[in-house]
A = this chain, B = another copy of it.
């Protein structure tokens, strides 16, 4: 299985190299490391998480390069963002059709695949709103860890306390 993962990573890196060159932008170490970081982790990291991780291997990288690179990858269609917004974002390098399990408490997101869910029948009325590219299912719940940590009521708040 580790073998499959490696293959997936390699395939995505290859696709990235190709797309970057086709778009006529340069393939720098920074860009490679940053993209690799999102691909390698199954997680859907936010900007700061990516920044810290990349800094391990590349101590001089700057946070603004991370921002610029992420949006560039996004413009090239090499990564998607979780949720509908572009502000305060998390990135996803998995372009294959897939779905998300989201913990409503801690924000954990895990990909999963399901042929049934991927074959959903989209209501016809939606075409009034616009074109349909794809459909993803977001399953919401409390992840195992948050259940253990005891979650009496949803009454806590954001990051830096």
Contacts and interface: CB of A to CB of B under 8 A. Distances in A.
Interface residues of A, number: 56
13 contacts: A71-B157, A83-B83, A84-B102, A85-B90, A86-B107, A86-B158, A116-B123, A130-B142, A130-B143, A133-B140, A133-B142, A135-B139, A136-B137
A114 B125 CA distance: 10
A130 B157 contact: no
Interface of A: 46, 71, 75, 77, 82-90, 100-104, 107, 109-110, 112, 114, 116-117, 120-123, 125-126, 128-147, 154-155, 157-159
Contacts of A75: 154-155, 157
